């Protein structure tokens, strides 16, 4: 298989391999990465055309011969591969280290007016580098479009160092041969946009699809001109450009990722009115502090019963599950308690009767490991005293 055929086959084969995995993606699996993860991907790389600017002794020789010292190189589409290891903080932020490799064949070399027709052009551009990246995952909910497939979009960027190698790049004129065969390292940068499709049957595993813009500062290579008539070789430097567009498919695996909990479904109200209760539980969706219709109904019941019995104090206690950091969960439980207290006041309960407390993740109804989403722990307790 030729290099160009291989480059076209890589994204097609990756897409075909990914299709069966999408069948196992589910709406409950989309959640921010927590802890260490590894990833890899491969796909299609498009290298932008590169300006060539010759300097040094060769530039002087070319100018004295009436040859312009500037040209342009264009590239065939090629392929890209990346491997990474990172850490997710559980709140959407991720940081990772990445190694990458890109390969594109030279399609043509043009310019250098006055040198005559350029022929027998060829060679390869190969770039490999090490990057430090930062990402942010957007939690759009379990199934925002009702497709039955969960997903999580993300954006990111990175900086690092990239080595660019021009391997056997050549162009033949009627009286000479230009050759570039050199490597140069420069500061590298990239921007990334992608989407992850978590595989529900394997907690922590996700299929990724990404676009990347990658570039380095201008590499500078040694260039030689071999004159057929005199047999002499003149050397110089040539400054080039190196920017790329990449489209990739990959896999990412987060270690110790908790299995997602099924959403809590509040029981339907029974026909017979229950006896007045002194304790009421108001449940919340994951990472939310707004009241559902069912939550408002429970608060209304509590407010009405507080007027029917002799109540001297109403305790409102907020709680959270262990899927976030303790500090974040403490604030979240406070917001939930404040929302319930505000609704009680709106229902006619005197604010002086209400005592508000926030316990974060310290008093769960159901004991869980750290990082687990437990619906019954996402609650506010209303106690009539």
Q: Of 45, 64, 221, 210, which is closest to residue 133 (Cα–Cα)?
A: 210
Q: In this structure, how many other beta carbons lie within 10 angstroms of the beta carbon of residue 319?
A: 27
pLDDT in tens, 220-277: 999 999 998 888 999 999 999 999 999 999 999 999 876 555 555 667 665 545 445 4
pLDDT value at residue 30:
59
In sign, the C-alpha dihedral spanning 287, 290, 295, 301 is: positive
Provide the residue ranges of all domains of the chain, joining segments of one domain with +: 3-254, 279-384
Three-state SS string over 57-108 comes to: HHHHHHHHCCCCCEEEEEECCEEEEEEEEEEEECCCEEEEEEEEEEEEEEEE
Which among 377, 84, 139 is positioned nearest to 254, based on CA atoms? 84
Residue 297, H or E segment? helix 293-308
pLDDT of residue 310: 76
CATH class of 3-254: mainly beta
Instruction: Give ∠ CA 20-84-4 in degrees, rounded to 5.
Output: 65
Q: CATH number of 279-384: 3.40.605.10, 2.60.120.10, 3.30.1330.60, 1.10.630.10? A: 3.30.1330.60
Give the residues across from 46 on adjacent strands: 245
How high is the pLDDT of residue 265? 61
Phi-psi region of 35 (alpha: psi -120 to 50; beta: other; left: phi over 0): left
Helix (H, G, I), strand (E, B) or coil at 264: coil
- Ranges in the chain, pLDDT < 70: 1-30, 142-147, 258-266, 268-277
Report the relative pairing of strands 176-198 and 233-239 from DSSP bridges: unpaired
**What Å distances lie between residue 157 and 116, 152, 250, 251, CA to CA?**
44, 17, 17, 19
Report the 3 state secondary structure along 166-217: EEEEEEECCCEEEEEEEEEEEEEEEEEEEEEEEECCCCCEEEEEEEEEEEEC
The set of residues, in sequence order, having a beta carbon less than 8 Å from that of 46 and lying 6+ positions away, is 77, 78, 244, 245, 246
Global pTM? 0.62
The pLDDT, as a whole number, for residue 9 is 47
Neighbours of 314 (CB within 10 A): 23
């Amino acid at each position: 298989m030729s290099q160009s055929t291989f480059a076209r086959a890589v994204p097609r084969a990756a897409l075909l391999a990914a299709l069966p995995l999408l069948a196992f993606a589910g709406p409950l699996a989309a959640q921010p990465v927590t802890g260490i993860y590894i990833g890899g991907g491969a796909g299609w790389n498009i290298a932008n055309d590169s300006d060539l600017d010759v300097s040094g002794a060769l530039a002087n020789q070319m100018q004295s011969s009436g040859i312009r010292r500037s040209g342009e190189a264009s590239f065939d589409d090629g392929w890209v591969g990346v491997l990474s290891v990172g850490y997710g903080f559980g709140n959407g932020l991720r940081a990772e280290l990445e190694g990458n490799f890109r390969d594109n064949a030279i399609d043509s070399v043009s310019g250098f007016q006055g040198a005559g027709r350029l022929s027998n052009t060829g060679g390869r551009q190969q770039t490999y580098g090490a990057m430090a990246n930062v990402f942010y995952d957007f939690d759009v909910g379990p199934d925002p479009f009702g497709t039955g497939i969960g997903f999580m979009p993300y954006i990111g960027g990175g900086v690092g160092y990239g080595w660019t190698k021009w391997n056997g790049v050549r162009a033949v004129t009627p009286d000479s041969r230009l050759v570039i065969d050199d490597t140069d390292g420069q500061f590298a940068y990239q921007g990334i946009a992608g989407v992850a499709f978590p595989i529900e049957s394997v907690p922590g595993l996700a299929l990724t699809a990404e676009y990347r813009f990658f570039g380095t500062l201008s590499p500078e290579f040694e260039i030689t001109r071999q004159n057929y008539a005199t047999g002499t070789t003149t050397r110089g430097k040539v400054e080039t450009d190196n920017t790329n567009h990449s489209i990739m498919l990959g896999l990412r695996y987060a270690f110790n990722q908790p299995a997602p909990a099924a959403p809590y479904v509040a029981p339907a109200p029974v026909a017979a009115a229950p006896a007045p209760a002194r304790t009421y539980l108001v449940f919340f969706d994951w990472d939310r502090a707004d009241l559902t219709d069912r939550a408002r109904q429970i608060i209304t019941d509590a407010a009405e019963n507080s007027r029917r019995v002799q109540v001297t104090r109403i305790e409102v206690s907020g709680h959270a599950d262990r899927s976030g950091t303790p500090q974040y969960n403490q604030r979240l439980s406070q917001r939930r308690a404040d929302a319930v207290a505000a609704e009680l006041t709106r229902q006619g309960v005197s604010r002086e009767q209400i005592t508000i407390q926030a316990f974060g993740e310290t008093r769960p109804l159901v004991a869980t490991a750290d990082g687990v989403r437990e619906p019954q722990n996402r609650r506010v307790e209303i106690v009539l005293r």
